[in-house]
Amino acid sequence: ANRVGWQHAFFPEPEVQAHMLKRFLADGEKPERVMAFLRNCDQVISRAMAVDKLDLAVEMADLAGGLCDRPVGSAQFRDEILQRQTRVRRIGERFKQHQAALARLAAAPDDADAHATAGRWLCLVKGNWDEGLPHLSQGSEPRFKKLAQQELSAANAAPDVLVALGDGWYEMVQSAEAEEQLPMLRRADDWYRRAAESSSGLAKAEIGRRRAEIGQHLARLAPAEVQPAAAPDAAQPSPASAEESE
């Protein structure tokens, strides 16, 4: 397993990493080799997703999930792998929808549904708000459209406008899909942070209270994060590491 980590540093392409990792399963799936595969699979999946190789990410997640009927690692470790498999499959499906949306926009630039799909993928999955907000602002989903339009016109806005943007994303969390809750919380917190920088007194105290609430949500949804994110396009946390099973 240590050699795999060394090889990953020199062969960053996820296809090469996946090929090397699959070699652990070439000798009859011995328990120690299965464990080595599972321990290193997460970084390959994460790398594949980062460069939009979703087919490869789903393939590796499915391979790992298919090995969870073996008595390797703890029950919690295997359950986390199965949860990751489900999550990666959902994201893979969303990527296909995003690609289809881009194809529709190439033929019909005013397709509001396609703009909404593309914008949600870029902002809430990839964290690319600069590219995603213009899509959301032309989309068919009223709440996303309104927030995106407000963001695009928020340069040099007053603190109350920034707070309103934070409130908008914070309120969206309640009805958001699971994968979208964390980026919405981070986005809300970033607007609150910006508002706090030019606020004082009771207004600043209220902003601090809301940021503390976001911190509590993050502690529940992403325990590794001890503070709300400072940047609006912060990356989503990686799936749980296999080392936690040791």
DSSP assignments along 98-124, one per residue: HHHHHHHHHH-TT-HHHHHHHHHIIII
Distance CA 231, CA 224 (A): 16
Distance of alpha carbon 103 from its chain centroid, rounded? 23
Residue-level pLDDT at 10:
53
Distance CA 84, CA 42 (A): 9
Provide the whole-model pTM.
0.78
Residue-level pLDDT at 62:
96
Tens of pLDDT along the chain (246 residues)? 444 444 445 557 889 889 888 888 876 667 888 888 888 898 899 999 999 999 999 999 999 999 988 888 888 988 999 999 999 999 999 999 999 999 999 999 999 999 999 999 999 999 999 999 999 999 999 999 999 999 999 988 999 999 999 999 999 998 898 889 999 999 999 999 999 999 999 999 999 999 999 999 988 887 654 433 333 333 333 333 333 333
HSE-CB at 118 with a 13 A cutoff on CA atoms is 24
**Positive or negative torsion for Cα 28, 32, 36, 39:** positive
Residue-level pLDDT at 124:
95
Residue-level pLDDT at 242:
34
**Quick one: angle between helices 129-136 and 112-120, nearest 10?**
150
Q: Using the 8-state DSSP alphabet, how is residue 236 labeled?
A: P
Query: Six-digit token pair at 57?
Result: 């990410």
Residue-level pLDDT at 164:
96
User: Greatest CA span in the chain, whole angstroms?
Assistant: 67
Distance CA 174, CA 116 (A): 19
